[in-house]
Chain A
Amino acid sequence: MSIDMAQFHQVFFEESFEGLDAMESGLLNLDMGDVDKEEINTIFRAAHSIKGGSGTFGFTSVSDFTHVMETLLDEMRDGRRQITQTALDVLLGSVDCLREMLTAIQEGDEVNESKVAEHKQALDKELNGESTEVPQIENIAQSIDTIESSKAANEGSSQAGWHIVFSPHAHLLKTGNDPVRMFRELKELGELTAIVDLQGVPGLYDLDPEDCHLSWDLKIEGDISREEIDDIFDWVEDDCDMAIQTLTNGVTTSQHPTNDVAPNQINSAANSEQPAESNDVKPEKISSVQAVNQSAKPKAEKKEAKPKGSSSIRVDTAKIDTLINMVGELVITQSMLSLVGEDFSPHKLEQLKNGITQLGRNTRELQESVMNIRMLPISFVFSRFPRLVHDLSTKLNKKIELKLSGENTEVDKTVVELISDPLVHLVRNSLDHGIEMPEDRVAAGKPETGTVNLNAYHRGGNIVIEVVDDGKGLNKEVLRAKAIEKGLIEEDAILTDKQTYELIFHAGFSTAEKLTDVSGRGVGMDVVRKNIQSLGGNIEIESELGKGSTIAIHLPLTLAILDGQSVAVGDETYIVPLVSIIETLNIDESMVNRVAGKGETFRLRDEYLPIVRMHEIFSVETAKATRLTEGLLVVVEGQGMRCGLFVDDLLGQQQVVIKSLEANYRRVEGISGATILGDGSVALILDIPGLVRLSNL
């Protein structure tokens, strides 16, 4: 029976990438002086899972590579090896390499073999070259062992193979382990004879098809090390009873040809715990063997590899459970309603109303929890930054500490996917331009180590993601001079602080004196802003010269649904996002001041706010209220700007599903999207910052 393994590939890749992330963060967290056993264990487990998975799916290049990493990690875990910075760097490099290999396989590309070989060599060197004293003793012991066994081989009563009694527990299959797969692996090691024991199989009526009732008596011939056998059974150790014995006699015929291998094996065991399949000493040669393996493999797999079109999402089981509960309630409500409807009489009206209220509540809850499924913690994005900061600060010779907060803030999956590149850009900018060199920092009276904070939190209906650094801040004078030089502003232009900082969002605007490969080419900030705007968010900069800068990204909580307030302007209906409404008030002419005879402002407590007459900027001819006393003023805030929207009337609050105008149409200034109202007609959703801009024209 063959199962199409390709269907599980996606899951394997996802798990592997998660594992790699775990390894990476684990490696970065490792403190050389005081080693946390649990941390190494985590890293080791992740490597082990990747190895196991890739072995199952036949990605030998990956499993071989991981095996070497695993060996190194294993020695660290057992305290047989000192953890050094070089070892960590080699491991980090290998994580990257492994990620590239997996990506290549996933996309059906060629694996970059020379790079893999290079990393593998580095790992081997780490394993062999700098082994500390402890392993050496063990190596000697091992070699003695092997010498003895090979001596035994010469005497004819050699270790010709293994006899394994393997009786899995009933639940083995449920743990996802398939004995057949393991036998297949065994078979690759040598001649395998399997005798199945059917005694445990119950009668047909008592048989649980999901249980494993069989046990096996396995004989495997060939010169195989105990580790290789253990490797295969590694995953099921706890789920079976197993006895492994050496085969000592009777089958020696197949042994002799391998005699010349034995001395080699001594060496390999002495030097390292090499991947067992390559019984060779020289690392160069090993890598070339590997390279051959790899060159053969990806080609074979290329055909079945699919482009990663469909995206999937991992959901917390608790969320699914909630969802199921809600559906349960919905079904109850539905049956109640249909009962009421079966023979309806006017005195049941109250019941009907109750039912409908309940249905409304159910729908809303259901909708909320469905939306919730799309929410992922922002840590998915944040987790890549410790590495980025680690690498960049080494490269830039700066001392930088990264602090994360609010990693558990949940954001929409689309946001997670799209925010990560802009965020990387902002963090790179902070590291490169923001934080000064250590000596400059000391000279400026600041701690030698710079700090970059990545914060995420909810505010109102928004998610705020902040990149805060305590670097040198933005220099307004330099920005201004640069903008004048580039012809972006007039020489005598008066700009607020905010407007000055906004200059950096112009394409081709860079204040860095020299280009580095980290940043400074002046591309990027405009792209960053575009990306964020495409998510319906906005970006703000605050900065103090010499103290540091804060870049805050505001994003809507969910991209698909918002709470809206419908307002009437003439016979048209517009939706104002509820989160941007501060208050609604009646106003009369006496409260209004005119600026330069034109722009209307009114005083709200101690602030003067501009009045935006909706019927004017949207040229609504049917507007009923043209005098301020006839309508209502809705005070709204967007992108830090406040204004009063003058409308005819308020209609009602409702949740609206946001539909894109751009899908079939185009972006319209002042409009962020459209929605469909209860009567099937289309209403436009107002974009407050856009409206303010529009009214200023």
Chain B
Amino acid sequence: MSEANNLAEVEVEGEQKQVANAVQFLSFILGKEQYAVDILRVQEIRSWEPISRIPNVPSYEKGVVNLRGAIVPVIDLRDKFNLGHAEYTPMTVVVILQTEINGKNRIMGVVVDAVSNVIDIDKTTIQSPPEFGTKVSTEYINGLAAVDEQMVMLLDVDKLLKLDDVDDEDEN
């Protein structure tokens, strides 16, 4: 409903501005927090399905699944953000995101607790993330936005999907 309010407000200010500044995000829940990603980066949303584990990789890289013949890695965002582990249930959702790394298109899944909404956010209202010091990494957060009195953290998909390359030593 607040979106509607939001939209209405924007519309009062003029249609031009809405077209120029509104960006759509897909918001989802991790624990008690709201996160969102640029909706143009979302390829599809799937329910949780068993994953084939990959040995000797960071624990948040859960493994790979078969997405219509393509091998797609799945990352657990709770693990990655140190939000504690949650049991995977049939309600658990995998959001398939697209990114471009070194000129190559990649798709990857991220495990989230649930997707909540598609939200319109006025670009001008996005705040830059505060510095939390060293305790919480804010490197994946692009900005903060207030939706329905609640803070939503906007994630940078490219940084999120960049894998820490553990296999740099490919020569013996």
B26-69 residues with Cβ-Cβ distance < 8 A to A are 50, 52-57, 63-66, 69
Question: Known contacts A664-B72, A665-B64; is A618 also within 8 Å of B167 by CB?
Answer: no
Of A274-282, A460-468, A680-688, which stretch is located at the interface?
A: A680-688
Bound form: Cα–Cα A618–B54 in Å: 8
Asked if A174 is at the interface of the complex by the 8 Å CB criterion, the answer is no
Which residues of B sit under 8 angstroms from A526, Cβ to Cβ? 171
Contacts of A661 in B (CB 8 A): 64, 71
Q: In the docked arrangement, what's the CA distance between A661 and B71, Å? A: 6
A666 nearest in chain B by CB position: B163
- The smallest C-beta distance from B170 to any residue of chain A, in angstroms, reads 7
The answer to whether B57 and A668 have CB atoms under 8 Å apart is yes
CB-CB under 8 A from A664, the residues of chain B are: 70-73, 106-108
**Contact in complex: A682, B56 (CB < 8 Å):** no
Report whether B172 and A682 are in contact in the complex, using a CB–CB cutoff of 8 Å. Answer: no
Q: What is the bound-complex CA distance between A619 and B172, given in angstroms?
A: 22
B65 in contact with A682 (CB, 8 Å): yes
Complex Cα spacing A549 to B56, Å: 38
Whether B165 sits at the interface, judged by CB under 8 Å, is: yes
Docked complex Cα distance between A19 and B69 (Å)? 41
Q: What's the least CB distance linking A504 to chain B, in Å?
A: 13
What are 29 A-to-B residue pairs whose CB atoms are below 8 Å? A526-B171, A617-B55, A617-B56, A618-B55, A619-B55, A661-B64, A663-B71, A664-B106, A664-B107, A665-B71, A665-B106, A665-B163, A666-B163, A667-B167, A668-B55, A669-B167, A670-B55, A671-B54, A671-B55, A674-B64, A676-B71, A680-B66, A681-B52, A682-B52, A682-B63, A683-B52, A684-B52, A684-B54, A693-B172
Closest to A677 in B: B66
The answer on a CB contact under 8 Å between B55 and A681 is no
**Size class of the B contact interface (CB-based, 8 Å):** 20 to 34
Contact assessment for B64 and A572 in the assembled complex, using a CB-CB cutoff below 8 Å: no
Q: Is A660 an interface residue when CB atoms closer than 8 A count as contact? A: yes
Contact B66 A681, beta carbon cutoff 8 Å: yes
Q: Nearest 9 pairs between A and B by C-beta?
A: A618-B55, A682-B52, A665-B73, A674-B71, A664-B106, A659-B71, A676-B66, A682-B64, A682-B66
Quick one: closest A residue to B61, CB to CB? A665
Chain A 483-520 near chain B by CB (<8 Å), digits 1 or 0: 00000000000000000000001100000000000000
Give complex CA distance A670, B55 in Å.
Answer: 9
Return chain B residues, CB-CB under 8 Å to A665. Answer: 54, 64, 71-73, 106, 108, 163
Point out the residues of chain B lying under 8 angstroms from A618, CB to CB.
55-56
A668 touches B70 (CB 8 A): no
With known contacts A661-B64, A664-B106, A682-B64, A669–B56 Cβ distance under 8 A: yes
Residue in chain A with minimal CB distance to B53: A572
CA distance A667 to B55 in the complex (A): 12
**With a CB–CB cut-off of 8 A, which chain B residues contact A506?**
171
Report the minimal beta-carbon distance from B162 to chain A, rounded to whole angstroms: 11
Q: Is the CB of A619 within 8 A of B108?
A: no
Tell me if A660 and B55 are in contact (CB < 8 A): no
Q: How far is the CB of B41 from chain A (nearest CB, A)?
A: 14
List 16 additional A-B contacts (Cβ < 8 Å) besides A572-B52, A680-B66.
A618-B55, A619-B56, A620-B55, A661-B71, A664-B72, A665-B108, A668-B55, A669-B56, A669-B167, A674-B71, A676-B69, A676-B71, A681-B50, A681-B66, A683-B52, A684-B55
- Shortest distance between the CB of B25 and any CB in chain A (Å): 23
Q: Which residue, B56, B63, B71, has most C-beta atoms of chain A within 10 A?
A: B71
Which residues of A, 647-678, contact B by the 8 Å Cβ criterion?
Answer: 659-661, 663-671, 674, 676
CB closest residue in chain A, given B67:
A664
Binding site for A on B (CB under 8 A): 50, 52-57, 63-66, 69-73, 106-108, 163, 165, 167, 170-172
**A572–B73 CA distance with the chains assembled, in angstroms:** 17
A682 to B109 alpha-carbon distance, docked (Å): 15
Contact, CB under 8 Å: B56 / A670: yes
Determine the chain B residues whose CB is within 8 A of the CB of A676 once the complex forms: 66, 69, 71
Interface centre among A676, A682, A684, A694 (most CB of B within 10 A): A682
Q: Most A CB atoms within 10 A — which of B69, B107, B163, B171?
A: B171
Q: CA A659 – CA B53 in complex, angstroms?
A: 16
Chain A residues, Cβ within 8 Å of B107: 664
Residues of B close to A671: CB separation below 8 A: 54-55
B167 — which chain A residues lie within 8 A by C-beta?
666-669
Q: Which residues of chain B are within 8 angstroms of A666 by Cβ–Cβ distance?
A: 163, 165, 167
- Which residues of B have CB within 8 Å of A572? 52-53
Contacts of A670 in B (CB 8 A): 55-56
**B31: min CB distance to chain A, Å:** 26
B55: nearest chain-A partner, CB-CB: A618
**Cβ contact within 8 Å between B71 and A668:** no
CB-based contact B54/A668 at 8 Å: yes
Whether the pair A667, B170 counts as a contact (CB closer than 8 A) is yes
What residues of chain A lie closer than 8 Å to B70, measured between beta carbons?
Answer: 659, 663-664
Q: Which A residues touch B170, using CB under 8 A? A: 667
Closest to B65 in A: A682
Closest to A615 in B: B55
- What's the Cα separation between A350 and B53 when bound, in Å? 40
Residues of B within 8 A of A674 (CB): 52, 64, 71
Min CB distance B119 to A, Å, is: 27
A238 to B104, CA, bound (A): 54
Contact A660 B71 (CB under 8 A): yes
A506 to B70, CA, bound (A): 34
B residues near A667, Cβ cutoff 8 Å: 167, 170
CA distance in complex: A684, B73 (Å)? 13
Rounded to whole Å, the gap between the CB of A108 and the closest CB of chain B is: 23
Across the two chains, which residue of chain B brings its CB closest to A614? B55
Q: Which residue of A lies closest to B50 (CB)?
A: A681
Q: How far is the CA of A676 from the CA of B106 in the complex (A)?
A: 19
Cβ of A334 to closest chain B Cβ, rounded Å: 23
Residues of A within 8 A of B52 (CB): 572, 674, 681-684
Please tell me which one of the listed residues A619, A620, A682, A694 contacts residue B71 in the complex, with CB atoms under 8 A apart.
Answer: A682
C-alpha gap A660/B64 in the complex (Å): 12
Most buried by A among B66, B72, B73, B167: B66
Smallest CB–CB gap between B160 and chain A, Å? 14
Contacts of B71 in A (CB 8 A): 659-661, 663-665, 674, 676, 682
How far is it, in angstroms, between the C-alpha of A521 and the C-alpha of B29 when the chains are bound? 56
A664 to B63: give the CA distance in the assembly, Å: 12
A676 to B72, CA, bound (A): 12
* Complex CA–CA separation, A683 to B72 (angstroms): 12
Minimum C-beta distance from A566 to chain B (A):
13
Q: In the assembled complex, which residues on chain A have CB atoms less than 8 Å from the CB atom of B66?
A: 676, 680-682
Instruction: Enumerate chain A residues within 8 angstroms of B73, measured Cβ to Cβ.
Output: 664-665
- A536-566 CB mask vs B (1 if < 8 Å, else 0) is 0000000000000000000000000000000
Give every chain B residue within 8 A of A659 (Cβ-Cβ).
Answer: 69-71
With the chains together, A393 CA to B49 CA distance in Å?
62
* Closest residue on chain A to residue B107 by CB atoms: A664
| Contact among A663, A668, A680, A683 for B56, CB-based, below 8 A | A668
Q: In whole angstroms, what is the CA distance A682 to B69 when docked?
A: 10
Residue on B nearest A681 in the bound complex, by CB: B52
